[in-house]
A and B are shown apart, each in its own frame.
Chain A
């Protein structure tokens, strides 16, 4: 088809009619805008005057208008080539062995100083396009120095030329530098630091049974990207795998801690204290469930690995349920609606038919859907059974969540009423991990990330008990170290689950929950007194006389509540030297595997500790700890280690290592 040369084809664009927006979508957008406006006003009222860090800079920067390529009269071709070549050259220059070491160090230090200033630009860019050449330079710096800055930068760069150059640079860059500009949001957290047993002998935290971080990390690595640092939560990596701890025998005392002490694989002078529990597993027939599925059907769910995958996963779950169980489906999109009223789970045909009719389209209103789901869960409540809302989303809460606190409060209130909430995350590029975690934690549930059908099978079939039935809630762990025997200790992972010392005995403080048959593991790296591995120098003027606690290394206390109780129970046990193994190989396969996963997580994050072990060491340890491996998960982990080795070779200098302090890189 062609237009005659004398008529302007573009004139036809004027006649293009636009289909009217749906009324619901309009109402919702207006509501969202008003909520955002109120929230911003409230924030502005609270904030001090001036340009506080973190406040959005939203204005048109007219003063930058003149700096774009065209106006500088630079020939476009030259500019484009320069855009391509400059970052590439910088890359090659800084990664060649010929670069003098001091030169390279300055190069690395410089972007770190520059980056915070650029962060403001990033925010401004959300509204106003910045000049292209600058953009590119910043992104390049960002990719190497600050992955967390690089992600938003890359997704927001303006010009087509800039965008193309970015893509090409990503293709040419050595794989070790590639951090995926994923668009997924993660709560950032600082790594657990080393503590002195003499100054702070007590460590308190809440259990974490989530596994979302592992599934996400696996997906990123399989696609050839390094996950963002904040996406890697080591305890979730460790807890993804089933461990064969001795199970409890009755529902009254639903778990018993299994303790072991063995040499650290990445540091010969320290030891790891491993605390493992396995939840009691009741007979499947003895449980009744009332499940309300709250399904995100917004436009973004319209992808093969989201709604269609969810439908198939749901089929798997349905096969696990019986006539005693009730299922309902609520959708949230343009408007919240009941897709399936509470229905007995043995009417599979009608449930599947309702599910098949779901279609993804429209915008998202998370909060309304949640209220509706809770109402249905209340109507179909099963006394003495599991009453749970299961939220399936790709992370879109772009309406109701404008006030996340209110939503959290709602979920926490419903939890008191006996209705819990779990979250299943789908897809990539839109995932709001922080919100998922926050909702599940407030709802006494777990957050799982369903990346593919195999993962759906793991969560909804093999570990269905743990997903649906809670056997103990608010499980807290408190470990007191004996300063006479332990000089330093460090909890590995659980950054987002730290509790204050006084929270331990306060039953009102919420903590993690353990599902039926779930195994949970926590690791401490401890430095025995006089081992020579202490990172902190002793005090010159001595210290107060340390009370001697005999030959106990530490004392473990755990608090938990039975599912229908509000009063906590206490489990206490000392950690003594007879738990210690001289060699990690004697401690059993589970122990070796957990240590390998911890080392993997630390290396992947570029942690300030434990990165001395090389990938071969991690892989050998994981191989040794493979054991029976019924689900093939450990074999899969070993493949991931291979992948990580390629993406982040041992020789690769992490910026954080160079800067000598992990803090700046969080």
Chain B
């Protein structure tokens, strides 16, 4: 009887991943947000679910506290330390990713901890006793999510899709990927947040047509225009502001409280307390028309008062900044607002009524809010992780674009575009340059990203020097610079002198990235905890390769096995068996050795197969000739 089975709660179990080898891979989607982060996986029933903590809470505050004696607290535990230990507690670290010190100081008014320039140009944060890079801080958040997911799924993770704002530049994307590496996570893909949201939304609602995804999070704004069809999600255009979000709305309230209380030089504790109040006031104002609240640090119970009207008029300019960006994206895609099927709101800040009102006015329609705006990104990422891991049949095709133009600095500080924004990825573009002096043997290459006409106003991604150009007269050398953007939206640059055909090996030093040494150090530290992770990954890579070699050899035997006598067949099968045995062991080196040996031992078979095919081709031609 069915009844017996139903006693085991039909609710969605997240423990489907325990069965034998060759079954589903343990993979997750991670939304690494400015204020909150989430991890989600696909349930046995095929539904994406966010993984909660023991108290049933899914959202992890993106806060990290560095205590005495190298103790690190993450999430709610860290947030609780923020009031008492503001200087050693780091919140909204996403805003620091891939950024330099000056950049951050120029954009953020109040920072409760010290900052300094790191070796690679990326900022380092002085949090109490700790001196850490944003990559390490993000890695701490990722480690917590990883641990939570591993407990829920019953084993170590085999991959993750991590979301990034669509408008993240290359340095910010690279920093996110580095953070995952440090946390011991294998990144299956960096997925743009609005694309992830569209994926969750589209699959959930079965929607087709043109959709705008308006994503206003804690610290970033993204707008993407997508064409949703059965089995195809195509990003038409994307835009945004990677330093605009709910934090800025909180900041307005903080400033107002500062003005009202006459506090001009607040200490870090006051700032943290004030931020906490500001966030609560903002949230309450989404429901109420006015809010009365206790002033920070007031022992006498003094209160402040803010009306919705005052808040609206105060933050109107901030929210308005998103509207020309929406307009630009529609224009880039050549789409009128009327042509849209719907506007989907994503991100906690879209709960602010003024945001909804302004979006509705601009697009001329009420926006859609029928999925939880906080969770939808993580859920979409989980879907994508499932497909990339091969757990679900790969039916959905996801075509994304570059968010910002990529270019090179030319004479006179001009930005020459090489890859335009909204180009479908992966993509590669090349441009030729020449020398401007006789006998010039080196050329400085400055890689920039952005839409401004002057290179100095764009984001600097990397500088390198192409050396060893043979001396020629000015203008004779032909230096071909190639930009390759992969499916994660990450850029690789190479340069080559064409007249001599000499390819120069170049190392791209990211302007705001981590140096290789820094990464190596972090990995070493992470290795102490995650050496097993690392070895498991190496073994996995080798095993994937061995499986391919074995499958290929098996296929060749089925096709051309008649070319071998019994003795030879034994030899090939023996080599295959020896390789298969190494895949049952633990050592990646043993597998790789065996692959090489097998290659040598079966070379005669490959040769015979090619000879036969050649003979057949020639016989075929003769027959044709006679006809």
A is bound by B: no
